[in-house]
Structure 1
Amino acid sequence: MTTDIAVPMHDLQEAVHGDGFDYITGSPHLRHAYLNSWMRDTLNAVVAALGDRRDRAPRVIEVGAGHGGFTETLVAAGAEVIVTEMSGPSAALLRDRFRHNPHVSVHHDLDGRLDVHGEVDLVVYMSVLHHIPDYLASLDEASRIVAPGGAVVSFQDPLYYPRQPRSAVALSRAATLAWRVTEGELGRGFRTMSRRLRGVYDESIPSDMSEYHVVRDGVDEKAVADLLDLSFDHVEVHPYFSTQGGWVQEVGRRLLRPNTFGVVATDRR
Protein backbone atom coordinates (compact mmCIF):
# COMPACT_ATOMS: atom_id res chain seq x y z
CA MET A 1 0.00 0.00 0.00
CA THR A 2 1.22 3.49 -0.82
CA THR A 3 0.80 6.15 1.86
CA ASP A 4 3.80 8.42 1.28
CA ILE A 5 2.55 10.97 -1.23
CA ALA A 6 5.41 12.83 -2.90
CA VAL A 7 3.31 14.86 -5.34
CA PRO A 8 1.67 17.98 -3.81
CA MET A 9 -2.05 17.46 -3.32
CA HIS A 10 -2.96 20.53 -5.35
CA ASP A 11 -1.08 19.07 -8.34
CA LEU A 12 -3.00 15.81 -7.99
CA GLN A 13 -6.33 17.62 -7.73
CA GLU A 14 -5.52 19.72 -10.78
CA ALA A 15 -4.53 16.63 -12.76
CA VAL A 16 -7.90 15.01 -12.02
CA HIS A 17 -10.08 18.14 -12.04
CA GLY A 18 -8.59 20.00 -14.98
CA ASP A 19 -10.08 21.88 -17.92
CA GLY A 20 -13.40 20.42 -19.02
CA PHE A 21 -13.83 18.17 -15.98
CA ASP A 22 -17.49 17.37 -15.30
CA TYR A 23 -18.12 17.29 -11.54
CA ILE A 24 -21.75 16.27 -11.96
CA THR A 25 -21.19 12.97 -13.81
CA GLY A 26 -19.34 11.27 -10.96
CA SER A 27 -20.99 13.03 -8.02
CA PRO A 28 -24.12 11.42 -6.55
CA HIS A 29 -24.88 14.50 -4.46
CA LEU A 30 -25.03 16.54 -7.66
CA ARG A 31 -26.69 13.90 -9.87
CA HIS A 32 -29.53 12.70 -7.65
CA ALA A 33 -32.24 15.26 -6.97
CA TYR A 34 -33.33 14.05 -3.55
CA LEU A 35 -29.75 13.96 -2.23
CA ASN A 36 -29.08 17.36 -3.72
CA SER A 37 -32.24 18.86 -2.25
CA TRP A 38 -31.59 17.39 1.20
CA MET A 39 -28.08 18.85 1.31
CA ARG A 40 -29.19 22.25 0.03
CA ASP A 41 -32.00 22.35 2.59
CA THR A 42 -29.50 21.53 5.34
CA LEU A 43 -27.11 24.29 4.26
CA ASN A 44 -29.95 26.77 3.93
CA ALA A 45 -31.21 25.98 7.44
CA VAL A 46 -27.75 26.27 9.02
CA VAL A 47 -26.98 29.58 7.27
CA ALA A 48 -30.43 30.99 8.08
CA ALA A 49 -30.04 30.09 11.78
CA LEU A 50 -26.60 31.71 11.88
CA GLY A 51 -27.94 34.82 10.18
CA ASP A 52 -30.78 35.10 12.71
CA ARG A 53 -28.36 34.66 15.58
CA ARG A 54 -25.75 37.09 14.23
CA ASP A 55 -28.19 39.62 12.77
CA ARG A 56 -25.78 39.92 9.84
CA ALA A 57 -24.60 37.88 6.86
CA PRO A 58 -22.75 34.79 8.14
CA ARG A 59 -19.17 34.47 6.91
CA VAL A 60 -18.64 31.05 5.29
CA ILE A 61 -15.70 29.10 3.88
CA GLU A 62 -16.68 26.51 1.28
CA VAL A 63 -13.68 24.17 1.01
CA GLY A 64 -13.05 22.64 -2.41
CA ALA A 65 -16.01 24.28 -4.13
CA GLY A 66 -15.45 22.59 -7.51
CA HIS A 67 -17.56 24.54 -9.99
CA GLY A 68 -19.69 26.20 -7.31
CA GLY A 69 -22.59 23.77 -7.23
CA PHE A 70 -23.49 24.73 -3.66
CA THR A 71 -22.06 28.24 -3.57
CA GLU A 72 -25.22 29.79 -4.95
CA THR A 73 -27.25 28.04 -2.23
CA LEU A 74 -25.03 29.55 0.46
CA VAL A 75 -25.30 33.02 -1.06
CA ALA A 76 -29.06 32.76 -1.54
CA ALA A 77 -29.35 31.79 2.14
CA GLY A 78 -27.66 35.08 3.02
CA ALA A 79 -23.98 34.18 3.42
CA GLU A 80 -20.78 35.93 2.46
CA VAL A 81 -18.78 33.07 0.95
CA ILE A 82 -15.07 32.42 0.53
CA VAL A 83 -14.70 29.52 -1.89
CA THR A 84 -11.42 27.62 -1.99
CA GLU A 85 -10.28 25.30 -4.77
CA MET A 86 -6.97 23.50 -5.35
CA SER A 87 -7.52 22.96 -9.07
CA GLY A 88 -6.35 26.00 -11.03
CA PRO A 89 -8.85 25.50 -13.88
CA SER A 90 -11.71 25.09 -11.39
CA ALA A 91 -10.63 28.21 -9.49
CA ALA A 92 -10.55 30.14 -12.77
CA LEU A 93 -14.04 28.92 -13.64
CA LEU A 94 -15.29 29.95 -10.19
CA ARG A 95 -13.82 33.44 -10.58
CA ASP A 96 -15.53 33.82 -13.94
CA ARG A 97 -18.84 32.43 -12.72
CA PHE A 98 -19.03 34.74 -9.70
CA ARG A 99 -17.15 37.74 -11.10
CA HIS A 100 -20.17 40.02 -10.66
CA ASN A 101 -21.23 38.67 -7.29
CA PRO A 102 -19.85 40.77 -4.41
CA HIS A 103 -20.82 38.07 -1.90
CA VAL A 104 -18.33 35.52 -3.27
CA SER A 105 -14.54 35.61 -3.17
CA VAL A 106 -12.44 32.86 -4.73
CA HIS A 107 -9.17 31.58 -3.28
CA HIS A 108 -6.87 29.32 -5.32
CA ASP A 109 -5.77 27.09 -2.45
CA LEU A 110 -2.27 25.63 -2.80
CA ASP A 111 -1.69 24.31 0.72
CA GLY A 112 -5.07 23.54 2.30
CA ARG A 113 -4.73 26.12 5.08
CA LEU A 114 -7.94 27.63 6.43
CA ASP A 115 -6.59 29.97 9.09
CA VAL A 116 -5.45 32.48 6.45
CA HIS A 117 -9.10 33.50 6.05
CA GLY A 118 -9.60 34.55 9.66
CA GLU A 119 -12.61 33.80 11.84
CA VAL A 120 -15.76 32.53 10.13
CA ASP A 121 -19.23 31.39 11.14
CA LEU A 122 -19.40 28.21 9.06
CA VAL A 123 -17.02 25.85 7.26
CA VAL A 124 -18.54 23.66 4.54
CA TYR A 125 -17.01 20.52 2.98
CA MET A 126 -19.04 19.03 0.11
CA SER A 127 -17.46 15.76 -1.04
CA VAL A 128 -14.07 16.99 0.14
CA LEU A 129 -12.84 15.21 3.28
CA HIS A 130 -11.95 12.01 1.42
CA HIS A 131 -9.60 14.02 -0.81
CA ILE A 132 -7.61 15.36 2.17
CA PRO A 133 -4.77 13.13 3.45
CA ASP A 134 -5.15 14.37 7.05
CA TYR A 135 -8.84 15.22 7.16
CA LEU A 136 -8.93 15.26 10.96
CA ALA A 137 -6.26 17.98 11.01
CA SER A 138 -8.35 20.00 8.54
CA LEU A 139 -11.46 19.60 10.68
CA ASP A 140 -9.48 20.58 13.78
CA GLU A 141 -8.33 23.75 12.02
CA ALA A 142 -11.89 24.43 10.87
CA SER A 143 -13.12 24.07 14.45
CA ARG A 144 -10.52 26.56 15.66
CA ILE A 145 -11.47 29.28 13.16
CA VAL A 146 -15.24 28.92 13.63
CA ALA A 147 -16.59 31.64 15.92
CA PRO A 148 -18.63 30.76 19.03
CA GLY A 149 -22.11 29.66 17.99
CA GLY A 150 -20.85 28.69 14.53
CA ALA A 151 -20.96 25.41 12.61
CA VAL A 152 -19.19 22.86 10.40
CA VAL A 153 -21.11 20.91 7.73
CA SER A 154 -19.72 18.07 5.61
CA PHE A 155 -21.42 15.67 3.19
CA GLN A 156 -20.63 12.90 0.73
CA ASP A 157 -17.72 10.98 2.22
CA PRO A 158 -17.40 7.16 2.32
CA LEU A 159 -18.05 5.49 5.67
CA TYR A 160 -15.02 3.80 7.24
CA TYR A 161 -14.66 0.45 5.46
CA PRO A 162 -13.46 -1.68 8.43
CA ARG A 163 -16.72 -0.98 10.32
CA GLN A 164 -18.85 -1.99 7.35
CA PRO A 165 -19.67 -5.60 6.47
CA ARG A 166 -17.46 -6.84 3.66
CA SER A 167 -20.58 -7.53 1.66
CA ALA A 168 -21.63 -3.86 1.91
CA VAL A 169 -18.22 -2.66 0.70
CA ALA A 170 -18.31 -5.17 -2.15
CA LEU A 171 -21.78 -4.04 -3.19
CA SER A 172 -20.70 -0.40 -3.20
CA ARG A 173 -17.75 -1.24 -5.41
CA ALA A 174 -19.98 -3.27 -7.71
CA ALA A 175 -22.39 -0.33 -7.98
CA THR A 176 -19.53 1.94 -9.00
CA LEU A 177 -18.37 -0.62 -11.56
CA ALA A 178 -21.91 -0.86 -12.96
CA TRP A 179 -21.94 2.92 -13.39
CA ARG A 180 -18.61 2.80 -15.21
CA VAL A 181 -20.15 0.36 -17.69
CA THR A 182 -22.76 2.98 -18.58
CA GLU A 183 -19.99 5.56 -18.98
CA GLY A 184 -17.99 3.33 -21.30
CA GLU A 185 -15.19 3.01 -18.73
CA LEU A 186 -15.44 -0.69 -17.90
CA GLY A 187 -11.73 -1.31 -18.47
CA ARG A 188 -10.74 1.52 -16.15
CA GLY A 189 -13.21 0.28 -13.57
CA PHE A 190 -11.81 -3.26 -13.53
CA ARG A 191 -8.21 -1.99 -13.35
CA THR A 192 -9.07 0.31 -10.48
CA MET A 193 -11.01 -2.38 -8.62
CA SER A 194 -8.17 -4.87 -9.10
CA ARG A 195 -5.65 -2.44 -7.56
CA ARG A 196 -7.93 -1.68 -4.64
CA LEU A 197 -8.68 -5.32 -3.88
CA ARG A 198 -4.94 -5.99 -3.80
CA GLY A 199 -4.25 -2.90 -1.68
CA VAL A 200 -2.02 -1.45 -4.39
CA TYR A 201 -2.22 2.24 -5.27
CA ASP A 202 -0.29 3.67 -8.19
CA GLU A 203 1.32 7.06 -7.54
CA SER A 204 1.50 7.61 -11.30
CA ILE A 205 -2.31 7.55 -11.53
CA PRO A 206 -3.70 10.80 -10.09
CA SER A 207 -7.15 9.31 -9.48
CA ASP A 208 -5.61 6.79 -7.05
CA MET A 209 -3.92 9.53 -5.08
CA SER A 210 -6.48 12.34 -5.21
CA GLU A 211 -9.25 9.94 -4.19
CA TYR A 212 -7.31 9.56 -0.99
CA HIS A 213 -9.92 7.49 0.82
CA VAL A 214 -8.85 4.42 -1.14
CA VAL A 215 -5.49 4.61 0.64
CA ARG A 216 -6.95 4.65 4.14
CA ASP A 217 -10.21 2.68 3.86
CA GLY A 218 -12.74 5.48 3.71
CA VAL A 219 -13.30 8.27 6.21
CA ASP A 220 -13.62 7.42 9.90
CA GLU A 221 -17.01 8.93 10.78
CA LYS A 222 -16.58 8.06 14.46
CA ALA A 223 -13.24 9.87 14.66
CA VAL A 224 -14.82 12.84 12.86
CA ALA A 225 -17.72 12.96 15.34
CA ASP A 226 -15.43 12.54 18.35
CA LEU A 227 -13.22 15.40 17.21
CA LEU A 228 -16.12 17.75 16.55
CA ASP A 229 -17.72 16.80 19.89
CA LEU A 230 -14.78 18.51 21.59
CA SER A 231 -15.81 21.90 20.20
CA PHE A 232 -19.51 21.79 19.29
CA ASP A 233 -22.58 21.27 21.47
CA HIS A 234 -24.51 19.37 18.80
CA VAL A 235 -22.94 16.88 16.36
CA GLU A 236 -25.13 14.76 14.10
CA VAL A 237 -23.78 12.03 11.79
CA HIS A 238 -26.09 11.17 8.88
CA PRO A 239 -25.33 7.83 7.15
CA TYR A 240 -26.94 7.24 3.74
CA PHE A 241 -26.48 5.27 0.54
CA SER A 242 -25.06 6.90 -2.55
CA THR A 243 -23.61 5.81 -5.86
CA GLN A 244 -23.30 7.41 -9.27
CA GLY A 245 -25.75 5.31 -11.30
CA GLY A 246 -29.41 6.32 -11.25
CA TRP A 247 -31.17 2.95 -11.07
CA VAL A 248 -28.61 1.52 -8.63
CA GLN A 249 -29.13 4.57 -6.43
CA GLU A 250 -32.88 4.03 -6.39
CA VAL A 251 -32.50 0.38 -5.42
CA GLY A 252 -29.64 1.01 -3.03
CA ARG A 253 -31.29 3.70 -0.94
CA ARG A 254 -34.19 1.34 -0.24
CA LEU A 255 -32.42 -2.00 0.14
CA LEU A 256 -28.70 -1.53 0.81
CA ARG A 257 -26.78 -0.45 3.87
CA PRO A 258 -25.51 3.15 4.05
CA ASN A 259 -22.07 3.60 2.54
CA THR A 260 -21.70 7.37 2.80
CA PHE A 261 -22.15 9.95 5.51
CA GLY A 262 -22.57 13.61 6.29
CA VAL A 263 -22.00 15.42 9.57
CA VAL A 264 -23.58 18.61 10.88
CA ALA A 265 -21.89 20.22 13.90
CA THR A 266 -23.55 23.31 15.35
CA ASP A 267 -23.26 25.64 18.34
CA ARG A 268 -19.48 26.06 18.60
CA ARG A 269 -18.54 26.53 22.23
Structure 2
Amino acid sequence: MGITPEQAEKIREHNRWAHDLGATTYDDKQPYMMPSAVTEFQKDIRYLRSFFPKDSPRVLDLGCGTGFMTLAFAEQLCWVTSVDISSGMLAELRRKIAIEACTTLTASIQIVEEDVDKFLANTDALYDGIVFHSVLHHLPDYLETLKQACRRLLPGGFLYIATDPLNRKMMTPLNRWMARASELEEKWVNASLYRIRYLCERFWANSLPDAIQKAWRMFYASGASQRTPDSETKTKPDISLVEYHDVCGGIDEQEVIAVLKTQGLQILRSEKFCLYRHAWLTGLARSLRCPNVFKIIAHSTSSPIPVGGTYE
Protein backbone atom coordinates (compact mmCIF):
# COMPACT_ATOMS: atom_id res chain seq x y z
CA MET A 1 0.00 0.00 0.00
CA GLY A 2 3.04 2.23 -0.25
CA ILE A 3 3.35 2.81 3.51
CA THR A 4 6.88 2.98 4.93
CA PRO A 5 7.75 1.29 8.26
CA GLU A 6 8.08 4.75 9.83
CA GLN A 7 4.60 5.73 8.64
CA ALA A 8 3.18 2.43 9.89
CA GLU A 9 4.64 3.06 13.35
CA LYS A 10 3.12 6.55 13.41
CA ILE A 11 -0.30 5.11 12.51
CA ARG A 12 -0.01 2.62 15.38
CA GLU A 13 1.27 5.26 17.81
CA HIS A 14 -1.56 7.70 17.09
CA ASN A 15 -4.18 4.95 17.25
CA ARG A 16 -2.89 3.91 20.67
CA TRP A 17 -2.87 7.53 21.82
CA ALA A 18 -6.34 8.40 20.51
CA HIS A 19 -8.03 5.27 21.81
CA ASP A 20 -6.39 5.58 25.23
CA LEU A 21 -7.72 9.15 25.47
CA GLY A 22 -11.25 8.29 24.35
CA ALA A 23 -11.66 4.87 25.96
CA THR A 24 -14.07 5.80 28.76
CA THR A 25 -16.59 7.44 26.40
CA TYR A 26 -15.90 5.31 23.32
CA ASP A 27 -19.04 3.17 23.46
CA ASP A 28 -21.26 6.23 23.85
CA LYS A 29 -20.28 7.45 20.39
CA GLN A 30 -20.36 4.22 18.39
CA PRO A 31 -23.24 3.72 15.92
CA TYR A 32 -23.05 -0.07 16.25
CA MET A 33 -24.27 0.28 19.85
CA MET A 34 -27.72 1.37 18.59
CA PRO A 35 -30.35 -1.32 19.35
CA SER A 36 -31.14 -2.01 15.68
CA ALA A 37 -27.45 -2.49 14.88
CA VAL A 38 -26.88 -4.71 17.93
CA THR A 39 -29.74 -6.96 16.79
CA GLU A 40 -28.12 -7.42 13.37
CA PHE A 41 -24.71 -8.20 14.82
CA GLN A 42 -26.20 -10.71 17.26
CA LYS A 43 -27.82 -12.45 14.28
CA ASP A 44 -24.42 -12.66 12.58
CA ILE A 45 -22.84 -14.10 15.72
CA ARG A 46 -25.51 -16.79 16.10
CA TYR A 47 -24.92 -17.77 12.49
CA LEU A 48 -21.16 -17.98 12.99
CA ARG A 49 -21.62 -19.93 16.21
CA SER A 50 -23.68 -22.50 14.28
CA PHE A 51 -20.48 -23.56 12.52
CA PHE A 52 -19.49 -25.34 15.76
CA PRO A 53 -22.70 -26.69 17.32
CA LYS A 54 -21.04 -29.14 19.73
CA ASP A 55 -17.75 -27.45 20.55
CA SER A 56 -16.52 -24.30 22.25
CA PRO A 57 -14.75 -22.61 19.35
CA ARG A 58 -11.67 -20.47 19.79
CA VAL A 59 -12.24 -16.96 18.44
CA LEU A 60 -9.60 -14.29 17.86
CA ASP A 61 -10.94 -10.73 18.17
CA LEU A 62 -8.35 -8.47 16.54
CA GLY A 63 -8.55 -4.79 17.47
CA CYS A 64 -11.17 -5.73 20.05
CA GLY A 65 -11.52 -2.25 21.55
CA THR A 66 -13.82 -2.20 24.56
CA GLY A 67 -15.00 -5.72 23.79
CA PHE A 68 -18.31 -5.39 21.95
CA MET A 69 -17.61 -8.51 19.87
CA THR A 70 -15.53 -10.24 22.55
CA LEU A 71 -18.39 -10.29 25.04
CA ALA A 72 -20.94 -11.24 22.40
CA PHE A 73 -18.93 -14.31 21.35
CA ALA A 74 -18.08 -15.23 24.95
CA GLU A 75 -21.78 -15.20 25.80
CA GLN A 76 -22.22 -17.73 22.98
CA LEU A 77 -19.81 -20.07 24.84
CA CYS A 78 -16.74 -19.29 22.75
CA TRP A 79 -13.18 -19.01 24.03
CA VAL A 80 -12.03 -15.56 22.95
CA THR A 81 -8.55 -14.06 22.63
CA SER A 82 -8.95 -10.28 22.58
CA VAL A 83 -6.09 -8.24 21.13
CA ASP A 84 -5.78 -4.45 21.13
CA ILE A 85 -2.99 -1.90 21.11
CA SER A 86 -4.77 0.44 23.56
CA SER A 87 -4.44 -0.16 27.29
CA GLY A 88 -7.33 2.23 27.87
CA MET A 89 -9.72 0.27 25.68
CA LEU A 90 -8.70 -3.00 27.32
CA ALA A 91 -9.25 -1.45 30.74
CA GLU A 92 -12.84 -0.77 29.67
CA LEU A 93 -13.19 -4.40 28.57
CA ARG A 94 -11.90 -5.59 31.96
CA ARG A 95 -14.37 -3.24 33.66
CA LYS A 96 -17.26 -4.75 31.68
CA ILE A 97 -16.15 -8.28 32.57
CA ALA A 98 -15.98 -7.30 36.24
CA ILE A 99 -19.51 -5.87 36.08
CA GLU A 100 -20.77 -9.18 34.69
CA ALA A 101 -19.20 -10.90 37.72
CA CYS A 102 -19.38 -14.22 35.88
CA THR A 103 -16.56 -16.71 36.50
CA THR A 104 -17.27 -18.57 33.26
CA LEU A 105 -17.15 -15.36 31.22
CA THR A 106 -13.91 -14.26 32.87
CA ALA A 107 -12.24 -17.62 32.28
CA SER A 108 -13.23 -17.73 28.61
CA ILE A 109 -11.59 -14.40 27.67
CA GLN A 110 -7.84 -13.90 27.27
CA ILE A 111 -6.81 -10.25 26.94
CA VAL A 112 -3.62 -9.33 25.08
CA GLU A 113 -2.29 -5.77 24.88
CA GLU A 114 -0.36 -5.74 21.62
CA ASP A 115 -0.41 -4.39 18.10
CA VAL A 116 -2.48 -6.62 15.81
CA ASP A 117 0.30 -7.13 13.25
CA LYS A 118 2.90 -7.93 15.88
CA PHE A 119 0.56 -10.38 17.58
CA LEU A 120 -0.05 -12.25 14.32
CA ALA A 121 3.67 -12.32 13.56
CA ASN A 122 4.53 -13.80 16.96
CA THR A 123 1.72 -16.28 17.60
CA ASP A 124 1.60 -19.89 16.47
CA ALA A 125 -1.95 -20.44 17.75
CA LEU A 126 -4.78 -21.41 15.40
CA TYR A 127 -8.40 -20.31 15.72
CA ASP A 128 -11.86 -21.43 14.67
CA GLY A 129 -12.90 -17.86 14.00
CA ILE A 130 -11.20 -14.50 13.47
CA VAL A 131 -13.00 -11.18 13.86
CA PHE A 132 -12.15 -7.71 12.50
CA HIS A 133 -14.84 -5.34 13.75
CA SER A 134 -14.43 -1.69 12.72
CA VAL A 135 -10.66 -2.07 12.65
CA LEU A 136 -9.30 -2.49 9.09
CA HIS A 137 -9.23 1.25 8.41
CA HIS A 138 -6.99 1.75 11.47
CA LEU A 139 -4.33 -0.71 10.26
CA PRO A 140 -1.30 0.42 8.21
CA ASP A 141 -1.60 -2.38 5.60
CA TYR A 142 -4.91 -4.13 6.13
CA LEU A 143 -4.51 -6.46 3.13
CA GLU A 144 -1.26 -7.87 4.49
CA THR A 145 -2.84 -8.16 7.94
CA LEU A 146 -5.71 -10.15 6.44
CA LYS A 147 -3.26 -12.52 4.75
CA GLN A 148 -1.48 -13.14 8.05
CA ALA A 149 -4.80 -13.64 9.85
CA CYS A 150 -5.99 -16.22 7.32
CA ARG A 151 -2.92 -18.31 8.12
CA ARG A 152 -4.09 -18.49 11.74
CA LEU A 153 -7.48 -19.91 10.73
CA LEU A 154 -8.25 -23.59 11.31
CA PRO A 155 -9.85 -25.69 8.54
CA GLY A 156 -13.58 -25.05 8.53
CA GLY A 157 -13.22 -21.79 10.43
CA PHE A 158 -14.75 -18.39 9.69
CA LEU A 159 -13.47 -14.87 9.18
CA TYR A 160 -15.81 -11.99 10.01
CA ILE A 161 -15.22 -8.40 8.91
CA ALA A 162 -17.76 -5.71 9.84
CA THR A 163 -18.35 -1.97 10.04
CA ASP A 164 -15.46 -0.69 7.98
CA PRO A 165 -16.01 2.33 5.70
CA LEU A 166 -16.74 1.75 2.03
CA ASN A 167 -14.39 3.04 -0.62
CA ARG A 168 -15.88 6.40 -1.59
CA LYS A 169 -14.64 6.08 -5.18
CA MET A 170 -17.08 3.19 -5.59
CA MET A 171 -20.02 5.18 -4.19
CA THR A 172 -22.73 6.92 -6.16
CA PRO A 173 -22.80 10.74 -6.00
CA LEU A 174 -25.69 10.52 -3.52
CA ASN A 175 -23.67 8.13 -1.34
CA ARG A 176 -20.76 10.54 -1.31
CA TRP A 177 -23.09 13.40 -0.44
CA MET A 178 -24.39 11.46 2.57
CA ALA A 179 -20.85 10.70 3.70
CA ARG A 180 -19.99 14.37 3.33
CA ALA A 181 -23.09 15.39 5.29
CA SER A 182 -21.96 13.14 8.12
CA GLU A 183 -18.48 14.69 8.07
CA LEU A 184 -19.93 18.21 8.19
CA GLU A 185 -22.25 17.25 11.03
CA GLU A 186 -19.23 15.92 12.89
CA LYS A 187 -17.05 18.92 12.12
CA TRP A 188 -19.44 21.81 12.74
CA VAL A 189 -22.32 20.69 14.96
CA ASN A 190 -20.30 18.56 17.34
CA ALA A 191 -17.41 21.01 17.47
CA SER A 192 -19.90 23.73 18.44
CA LEU A 193 -21.35 21.49 21.14
CA TYR A 194 -17.88 20.95 22.52
CA ARG A 195 -17.19 24.66 22.72
CA ILE A 196 -20.47 25.27 24.56
CA ARG A 197 -19.59 22.49 26.99
CA TYR A 198 -16.06 23.85 27.41
CA LEU A 199 -17.35 27.34 28.26
CA CYS A 200 -19.99 25.99 30.65
CA GLU A 201 -17.49 23.86 32.53
CA ARG A 202 -14.89 26.61 32.67
CA PHE A 203 -17.06 29.50 33.82
CA TRP A 204 -20.18 27.99 35.39
CA ALA A 205 -19.14 24.51 36.55
CA ASN A 206 -19.54 25.30 40.24
CA SER A 207 -22.86 27.09 39.87
CA LEU A 208 -24.77 24.59 37.72
CA PRO A 209 -26.93 22.06 39.60
CA ASP A 210 -25.58 18.49 39.56
CA ALA A 211 -28.62 17.26 37.62
CA ILE A 212 -28.01 19.75 34.81
CA GLN A 213 -24.30 18.91 34.66
CA LYS A 214 -25.10 15.19 34.50
CA ALA A 215 -27.73 15.69 31.78
CA TRP A 216 -25.30 17.74 29.72
CA ARG A 217 -22.55 15.12 29.99
CA MET A 218 -24.97 12.41 28.85
CA PHE A 219 -26.17 14.57 25.94
CA TYR A 220 -22.63 15.36 24.87
CA ALA A 221 -21.42 11.76 25.13
CA SER A 222 -24.36 10.48 23.09
CA GLY A 223 -22.90 11.77 19.86
CA ALA A 224 -20.47 14.64 20.12
CA SER A 225 -16.86 14.23 19.15
CA GLN A 226 -13.93 14.81 21.44
CA ARG A 227 -12.54 17.72 19.50
CA THR A 228 -11.09 20.43 21.69
CA PRO A 229 -10.68 24.15 21.01
CA ASP A 230 -7.23 24.86 19.61
CA SER A 231 -6.48 27.07 22.59
CA GLU A 232 -7.13 24.22 25.04
CA THR A 233 -4.50 21.77 23.80
CA LYS A 234 -1.55 22.01 21.46
CA THR A 235 -0.91 18.30 21.14
CA LYS A 236 -3.49 15.69 20.25
CA PRO A 237 -3.70 12.60 18.05
CA ASP A 238 -3.64 13.22 14.31
CA ILE A 239 -7.04 12.06 13.00
CA SER A 240 -5.53 11.52 9.54
CA LEU A 241 -3.36 8.80 11.10
CA VAL A 242 -5.94 7.41 13.51
CA GLU A 243 -8.55 6.94 10.75
CA TYR A 244 -5.91 6.47 8.09
CA HIS A 245 -7.73 4.50 5.39
CA ASP A 246 -11.06 6.24 6.04
CA VAL A 247 -9.40 9.61 5.49
CA CYS A 248 -7.70 8.19 2.38
CA GLY A 249 -11.06 7.21 0.88
CA GLY A 250 -12.26 4.07 2.65
CA ILE A 251 -11.77 0.32 2.23
CA ASP A 252 -12.19 -1.42 -1.13
CA GLU A 253 -14.27 -4.46 -0.13
CA GLN A 254 -13.75 -6.07 -3.54
CA GLU A 255 -10.01 -5.94 -2.98
CA VAL A 256 -10.55 -7.51 0.45
CA ILE A 257 -12.67 -10.28 -1.08
CA ALA A 258 -10.00 -10.97 -3.70
CA VAL A 259 -7.34 -11.37 -1.01
CA LEU A 260 -9.52 -13.71 1.05
CA LYS A 261 -10.12 -15.89 -2.00
CA THR A 262 -6.39 -16.12 -2.70
CA GLN A 263 -6.00 -17.40 0.87
CA GLY A 264 -8.46 -20.23 0.22
CA LEU A 265 -11.59 -18.74 1.78
CA GLN A 266 -15.10 -18.89 0.36
CA ILE A 267 -17.23 -15.76 0.63
CA LEU A 268 -20.54 -16.67 2.25
CA ARG A 269 -21.91 -13.17 2.66
CA SER A 270 -20.88 -9.72 1.48
CA GLU A 271 -23.16 -6.84 2.35
CA LYS A 272 -23.14 -3.06 2.27
CA PHE A 273 -25.27 -1.31 4.88
CA CYS A 274 -25.98 2.05 6.52
CA LEU A 275 -24.61 2.91 9.93
CA TYR A 276 -24.02 6.48 11.03
CA ARG A 277 -23.39 7.91 14.47
CA HIS A 278 -26.90 9.30 14.78
CA ALA A 279 -30.10 7.33 14.27
CA TRP A 280 -31.74 10.04 12.16
CA LEU A 281 -28.84 10.05 9.68
CA THR A 282 -28.80 6.25 9.53
CA GLY A 283 -32.54 6.24 8.85
CA LEU A 284 -32.18 8.82 6.09
CA ALA A 285 -29.34 6.87 4.49
CA ARG A 286 -31.39 3.67 4.55
CA SER A 287 -34.37 5.35 2.93
CA LEU A 288 -32.10 6.74 0.21
CA ARG A 289 -30.24 3.40 -0.09
CA CYS A 290 -26.89 4.99 0.61
CA PRO A 291 -24.71 2.44 2.45
CA ASN A 292 -21.49 3.67 4.03
CA VAL A 293 -20.01 0.51 5.61
CA PHE A 294 -19.74 -3.19 4.77
CA LYS A 295 -19.38 -6.65 6.26
CA ILE A 296 -17.99 -9.91 4.95
CA ILE A 297 -18.39 -13.46 6.24
CA ALA A 298 -15.87 -15.92 4.81
CA HIS A 299 -15.35 -19.64 5.44
CA SER A 300 -12.39 -21.94 5.01
CA THR A 301 -13.10 -24.08 1.95
CA SER A 302 -11.17 -27.03 3.39
CA SER A 303 -14.29 -27.97 5.37
CA PRO A 304 -17.95 -28.09 4.25
CA ILE A 305 -20.33 -25.32 5.26
CA PRO A 306 -22.34 -26.61 8.23
CA VAL A 307 -25.84 -27.93 7.56
CA GLY A 308 -28.37 -25.62 9.15
CA GLY A 309 -25.99 -22.67 9.13
CA THR A 310 -28.55 -20.06 8.16
CA TYR A 311 -29.62 -16.62 9.33
CA GLU A 312 -32.57 -16.47 11.69
Q: Provide TM-score, normalisation by structure 2.
A: 0.73
Q: Distance in 2 between matches of 1:187 and 1:169?
A: 26
User: Is the 1:60–1:120 contact (alpha carbons within 8 Å) kept by the matching residues of 2?
Assistant: yes
* Structure 1 spans left out of the alignment, 5+ residues: 193-202
Residues 106-125 of structure 1 correspond to what in structure 2 (within 5 A)? 106-110=111-115, 112=117, 113-115=119-121, 116=123, 118-125=125-132
Q: Distance in 2 between matches of 1:117 and 1:74?
A: 22
Q: Secondary structure at the match of 1:17?
A: helix
User: Is the 2:143–2:256 contact (alpha carbons within 8 Å) kept by the matching residues of 1?
Assistant: yes
AA partner of residue 107 (structure 2): P
**Number of residue pairs aligned between Structure 1 and Structure 2:** 252
Which residue does 1:44 correspond to in 2? 46
Residues 50-129 of structure 1 correspond to what in structure 2 (within 5 A)? 50-52=51-53, 55-98=54-97, 100=103, 101-110=106-115, 112=117, 113-115=119-121, 116=123, 118-129=125-136
Q: Secondary structure at the match of 2:67?
A: coil
AA partner of residue 154 (structure 1): I
Given the superposition, is the C-alpha separation of residues 177 and 36 from structure 1 closer, same or farther in structure 2, using an over 3 Å criterion? farther
The question of 1:265 aligning with 2:295 is answered no
Q: Select the structure of larger CA radius of gyration.
A: 2
Q: Following TM superposition, by how much is the alpha carbon of 1:175 offset from its aligned partner in structure 2, in angstroms?
A: 2.1
Q: Following TM superposition, by how much is the alpha carbon of 1:43 offset from its aligned partner in structure 2, in angstroms?
A: 1.4
Which residue does 1:165 correspond to in 2? 172
Which residue does 1:250 correspond to in 2? 283
Given the superposition, is the C-alpha separation of residues 181 and 37 from structure 1 closer, same or farther in structure 2, using an over 3 Å criterion? farther
Given the superposition, is the C-alpha separation of residues 67 and 86 from structure 1 closer, same or farther in structure 2, using an over 3 Å criterion? same
1:96-137 Cα offsets, whole Å, 9 max, x none, are 443651000000013523251510000011101111121111
> Which runs of at least 4 in structure 1 moved beyond 6 Å after TM superposition?
186-189
Residues 83-232 of structure 1 correspond to what in structure 2 (within 5 A)? 83-98=82-97, 100=103, 101-110=106-115, 112=117, 113-115=119-121, 116=123, 118-179=125-186, 181-185=188-192, 205-230=237-262, 231-232=264-265
Q: Which one has more relative contact order, counting CA pairs under 8 Å at least 6 apart? A: 2
The question of 1:26 aligning with 2:26 is answered no
Q: Secondary structure at the match of 2:51?
A: helix
Q: Distance in 2 between matches of 1:89 and 1:17?
A: 7
- Coordinate RMSD, CA, aligned: 2.7
